[in-house]
Amino acid sequence: MQQISNVIEDYSFGRIELRGKTYTSDVIIYPDHIDGGWWRKQGHLLCLDDLEDIIAARPHVLVIGTGAQGMMRVADEVPKQMSELGIELKVARTGKACKLYNRLAQQQKSAVAALHLTC
């Protein structure tokens, strides 16, 4: 698996720029690719089912961006399962999550970010 540079170049409400491309839908940033059409089954509630591909990728760290105002909630089962799998979990509003991901991506090749871009 070849790692690509996925540094977040810019984030504002409803849009994010990665590697010179602008996305206007929620995204998951993997070490080797970007999923530009991520959505949760229950909208503003993040459940384990929404993270199946991330869990399969087994990153060292998962950064979750809960939106500009932090409106997306993380179900209680998510931190518990991530801990059991040995995946470090970081949850923050998306602006802060972007900055955190940029730092982690420079240090750890298996950091993944799941980012809600609006509310």
pLDDT tens-digit map of 8-34: 999 999 999 998 899 999 999 998 899
- The domains found in the chain, sorted by start residue, are 8-115 (3.40.1230.10)
Residue 8 backbone dihedrals phi, psi, to 5 degrees: -75, 120
How high is the pLDDT of residue 64? Answer: 98
Position 3 pLDDT exceeds 50: no
The pLDDT of residue 2 is 39
d(CA 110, CA 57): 9
pLDDT at residue 6 above 80? no
Q: What is the pLDDT of residue 43?
A: 86
Q: Is 115 left (phi over 0), alpha (psi -120 to 50) or beta?
A: beta
Higher pLDDT, 1 or 62: 62
User: Which has the higher per-residue pLDDT, 43 or 73?
Assistant: 73
Count of CB atoms within 10 A of residue 93's CB?
A: 16
Tell how far CA 14 is from the center of its chain: 15
Instruction: Provide the mean pLDDT of the chain.
Output: 92
The CA–CA distances, whole Å, from 117 to 12, 32, 34, 43, 75 equal 8, 21, 14, 12, 18
